[in-house]
Amino acid sequence: MVMEEALPTYQSMANWFESARDVTGADGTAWARWICRWSAEENRHGDVLNRYMYLSGRLDMRQVERTVHRLISSGMAMHAPVSDTV
C-alpha cells in the first residue's frame, strides 16, 4: 500500500524503456498503453487496501501517512536503463 504511492515514479521509469518510448505519457504504442493501464489498476488496489485498513482500524493510519511522506520526500534517483533486452 505504501509503495503504490510511488506509482507515478515507477510508470515514468518504465516509460524510458526503448520498447515503450512514451515520452509524453500518452503514446499509442502497445507497451505505453499497458504501462498506463497497469499503473491505474495498481493505484486502485492501493486505494481499496488503504480504505479497508482505515475503516477496519487494523493500522495506525497516522504512521502509514508518515511512512508515505518519508517515501515520497526522499525521492528516487531515476536512471535510464542500459538496455531493455532480457
How many domains, in total, are found in the chain? 1
Q: For residue 1, what pLDDT is reported?
A: 73
Chain centroid, CA 49 distance in Å: 15
Q: Give the cell for residue 54.
A: 482505515
**31, part of any domain:** yes
What is the percent of the chain with per-residue pLDDT over 90, rounded to a whole number?
Answer: 13
Which band of pLDDT confidence, cut at 50, 70 and 90, is reported for residue 55?
very high
**41, part of any domain:** yes
**63, part of any domain:** yes
Q: What is the mean pLDDT of the chain?
A: 79
- Please give the residue range of the domain that contains residue 65: 6-11+27-74
Q: Which of 13-27, 31-45, 51-65 has the lowest mean pLDDT?
A: 13-27
8 Å CB contact between 4 and 43: yes
**57, part of any domain:** yes
State pLDDT tens for residues 26-42: 777 788 888 888 888 88
What is the rounded CA–CA span in Å between residue 46 and residue 1? 5
**83, part of any domain:** no
Radius of gyration of the chain (CA): 15
**16, part of any domain:** no
**82, part of any domain:** no
Q: For residue 29, what pLDDT is reported?
A: 79
Q: Give the cell for residue 61.
A: 493510519
CA angle 16/39/74 to nearest 5° reads 70
What is the rounded CA–CA span in Å between residue 81 and residue 41? 24
Residue type, 85: T
